[in-house]
Amino acid sequence: MKDNWATISLIVLIALIMLIIFGSRWYNTEYAHAKNLGLSKGQLIECGKNPNCVSSQTTQSSMRIAPINASDTPELTWLMLRDLVETIPQAILISENETYRHYQFTTPLMGFIDDVELLYDRKKQLIQVKSASRVGQSDFGANRKRVELLREGLNKALSPK
């Protein structure tokens, strides 16, 4: 009798966890549509108020991250960055033009979508970056880590071998 109760409790717990995971993905209208994406006056749109965003063009110091330097080989850096992101299984290219790219990154376990935007500034020879979670308050540093991993991967790819 005690074993049956434990088994039933475990099944109910697993069902609740699955409901939370999948329910948050498919029934959240806020989650389905990205906000604050694109450009405004030639710059990436400002991060929202939630601390789940980093940007090289934000005015909010806690969300600021350095842009990617492309001064040595700007065109090659821009192309190599696309190649690098394409190797990441969780990344999907949503839109692209000569100077702007929008990717969606899906987290492996929970399936949350984060948006990554890249803006190539030829004049300053910089790639402006923005990475933001669609839902939630905190991202536990995931967006900052993602940008730094892209920066490190790009530096490795561009370094002489």
pLDDT per position as a tens digit, 40-82: 999 999 998 888 999 999 999 999 999 999 988 899 999 999 9
Which residue in the block uniquely carries the two structure tokens 């399936």? 111
Query: pLDDT tier at 93 (50, 70, 90 boundaries)?
Result: very high
Q: How far apart are CA 60 and CA 89, in angstroms?
A: 31
37: helix, strand or coil: coil
Q: Coil, strand, or helix at residue 83? A: helix
Give all domains of the chain, ordered by start, each with its CATH number: 34-158 (3.30.310)
β-pairing, 100-106 vs 113-121, is antiparallel
Specify the pLDDT at position 87: 94
Q: What's the pLDDT score for residue 116?
A: 96
Q: Is 156 helix (H, G, I), strand (E, B) or coil?
A: helix
pLDDT at 27: 45
pLDDT reported for residue 1: 58
Average pLDDT, the chain: 87
**Residue 7 pLDDT greater than 70, yes or no:** yes
- pTM for the complete prediction? 0.80
Tokens of 2: 């005690």
How far is the C-alpha of 22 from the C-alpha of 16, rounded, in Å?
Answer: 10
- Residue 37 region, left (φ>0) first, then alpha (ψ -120 to 50), else beta? beta
Q: What spatial distance separates the first Cα and last Cα of the chain, rounded to whole Å? A: 66
